[in-house]
Amino acid sequence: GDAVVAPDVDHVFVAVGRIAILFVEPESRAGRAIAKALFGDGALVPLAPDVLGDLIARLDEAGRITPVNEPALEEIGRQMVQRLAGRAVASLPDMRVRKMMDHVAGRLDAGITLAAAAKAVGLSAGRARHLFVEQTGLPFRSYILWLRMTKAVAIMSAGRSLTDAAHEAGFADSAHFSRTFRRMFGLPAAALQIS
C-alpha cells in the first residue's frame, strides 16, 4: 500500500514489481507543510488508496514513456505534495534564488561555489546563503549534492555505467557517488542497474 514516512525514521520496504518513491526534503516548504498536515503521533502514515491513487496511476503511465517527460513527472510530484499537505505549497517567490539555481544547473560537472552563484545574482555570499536556505529549506551544498544525485540517476537510468554517471554528474569518482547514494537512499547505487 501507499504510505508516508516521517523524516529521519529508519525504515525498510520490500517491493515486488514497479515502485515509485517521492522524496520531499523535510526542511523545504513542501516538507514542512506535509509534516504539519500528517505527522502528529506517528512516523508512518498509511494512505487510503483514494488519496493518491489516480496520481500514482498517472505516474506509472508517465514513467513508461521514453524518453522521460520530466516536466510531466514534476507536475505529478507537485500534485502529490499538494494533496499530502492539504493545500497548495508556494513555489520559490524570490527570483534571485531561482537565478542561483539556474546558474548552477549547467555547471554540475565543474567546481561550484556559493560565492560564484551569489556573485551571478549580485548578492554577498552570506546573504545568498541565508536567502537560499530560507527559500528552499536546503543549504546550498546539499542542493548541489541533490542535483548531482538526480543527474547521475538519470544517466544510469538511460543505461550508462555507474562510473560515467558519477563523473558526468560531478562526483569525484564512482566510490564517492556510491557512498552518497547509499547514505541518501539506503541501498547501493548499483541497484539502479538491475532491470
Q: Check residue 93 and give its pLDDT.
A: 65
User: Which of 185, 90, 93 is closest to 145 using CA atoms?
Assistant: 185
Per-residue three-class SS string for 15-59: CCCCCCCCCCCCCCHHHHHHHHHHCCCCCEEEECHHHHHHHHHHH
Can you say how many angstroms the Cα of residue 75 is from the centroid of all Cα atoms in its chain? 13
A 10 A CB-CB count for 24 gives 22
Q: Which amino acid is at 183?
A: R
Bond prior to 67 in cis (omega within 30° of 0): yes
Q: Check residue 42 and give its pLDDT.
A: 66
The domains of the chain, with CATH numbers, are 2-85 (no CATH), 95-137 (1.10.10.60), 142-193 (1.10.10.60)
Give the CA radius of gyration of the chain. Answer: 18
Q: Check residue 9 and give its pLDDT.
A: 77
Asked if 22 and 80 touch (Cβ cutoff 8 Å), the reply is yes
C-alpha cell at 102: 539556474
Q: Check residue 175 and give its pLDDT.
A: 94
* pTM of the full structure: 0.70
β-bridge partners, 44: 5
pLDDT tens for the chain, 195 residues long, are 677 887 777 777 777 777 777 778 777 778 888 888 887 766 777 787 788 888 888 888 887 777 777 788 888 888 888 888 888 877 666 899 989 998 888 888 777 899 999 999 999 999 999 999 888 878 899 889 988 998 998 888 888 999 999 999 999 999 999 999 888 877 788 877 654
